[in-house]
Structure 1
Amino acid sequence: MSETKKVKDLKAGNTVDTTFLTMEKEVTSLFEPGDIVRIKGVAERSTEKNDITEFSRTLKNIDFFFAEIVKTAEGMENEYFKRVVFSFLNDADFINTFKKAPCAKIHHHNYIDGLIDHTQSVVALCKTISGLYPELDRDSLLTGAILHDIGKTAAYEYTFRIDVTEEGGLVDHIVLGYQMVEDRIKGFSEELSLRLLHLILSHYNYGEWGLGD
């Protein structure tokens, strides 16, 4: 059996062949966020068996989600809304990022491809709502559903872990999304431009955050 060591005393290449407990403060001083650490050992539980399903990830059909979003956009009657939506959906660089981006670092859908998963869920919800309340402007609702979080394609990086980009931290995804849409509605009427930009700015609906109501 190798010599028993404390975690803080371990060096690269050391082997520990014993049972030991770790404290968070012992471990956090050894590594920086983003460090890659290889750990080899045997995990044991004294009261229950390991359940591999605890570590399984639900497989998402991203291409199906994207096809559903495209199908929804194709059904829009407002040509201006349809034009701005397809300016994103026909952009190969945007779509490559949109299909992979997480929706958050900590909160909902905080995993790779979480953004398109969340977006399609909101689209499906809004389609149901517009069917129940025909007096609503369906195209406005669906445009907002598709575009409301597009700023998150620039707000997060996820090379090997999810983190907030510099612009995501300083500007945030709502303003980034506003800027992305604003760049693609040149020539639109002022009234229509304001409606589209309002969809991005107001989607949290929290006036105390300084956003549109």
Structure 2
Amino acid sequence: MKDVFVCDLQANQVVTTTLLVKSKELRARKSGERYLSLILGDRSGELDAKMWDNVDAVEATFDRDDFIKVKGMVHVYRNRPQLTIHKLRRCQDEEVNFADYFPKTTKDVEVMFEELLSVVDGIQDSYLRELLMNVLMDEDLAAKFKRAPAAKTLHHAWLGGLLEHTLSLCKLCTLF
């Protein structure tokens, strides 16, 4: 679990935390020196962030939609919090709990997955049943399937949404 969420940040607070890069722009100061302007976030909100120094060393190490570990100072700029970043590094996905950054299903993912396996086990066509079981029993694919949203917006747009949506369609099919 994350130690500090965006909504908990206070002015004049030194913070070290992991955030999702929602936007990244390389800009120039009036002096011509380059700086990074970022929008960072987690499930609690977004935060404007600037990195004024050491930009050339880190700019190419991460992109939009990456997770970065930052150390910096929270200031207030135009009545909004802004993070001045002193250090940052790109995080590996294994270092991140996606539920800290995105909404997630309210249902138990493992219970839904077992229900889906039960539905697949009841499919009469042996070739289709075997194909689906092979896909669902692949540990890597199953983990991604359980975590994936069904869409970016509108329906089931949260972690576990694809599994929830698939199961709801399977249940709907049993009615007809």
Scaled by the length of structure 2, what TM-score is found?
Answer: 0.43
Query: Larger strand proportion, structure 1 or 2?
Result: 2
- The answer to which structure, 1 or 2, has the higher relative contact order (CA under 8 A, 6+ apart) is 2
Q: Which has the larger radius of gyration?
A: 1
Query: Larger helix proportion, structure 1 or 2?
Result: 1
